[in-house]
Amino acid sequence: MRILTSLVVALFLATSMSPVLATSVPKRQQKQERRIERGIKNGKITPKEAQHLRDQQATISVERELAKREGKITPRERAQEQHDLNALNKDIYRKKHNKRRVYQ
């Protein structure tokens, strides 16, 4: 029983480490950019929608750079960044699945 408890605690501590979040943000932004590009290519995202999504992504990048310049990214800044990335993710989904299309 003690071994099981120790394993559960070790697993919890290993998954709660924040360096994973710090390295995953640029990758996540690249994935989102690829999703936007595919939406444009498929005609599911209009040019205006794409520009709006890219503006959102640029804002997130600028905020991240400002936080880095101040030194360390605080947990609150990291949480806000994750919130913004989640919102952008939902916006990409909504814009890809709305009725607006670019017909080629």
pLDDT score for 23: 52
Residue 53: both structure tokens together: 């999504």
Residue 20 pLDDT class (50, 70, 90 cuts):
very low
Can you tell me the distance from the alpha carbon of 87 to that of 78, in angstroms, rounded to the nearest whole number?
Answer: 14
Percent of the chain past pLDDT 90, that is, above it, reads 63
Tokens of 22: 């710090």
73 pLDDT above the threshold of 60: yes
Structure tokens, 99: 């009725």
Sequence-distant (≥ 6) Cβ neighbours of residue 43 within 8 angstroms: 101, 102, 103, 104
Q: Taking residues 6-13, what's their average pLDDT?
A: 55
The pLDDT value recorded for residue 7 is: 52
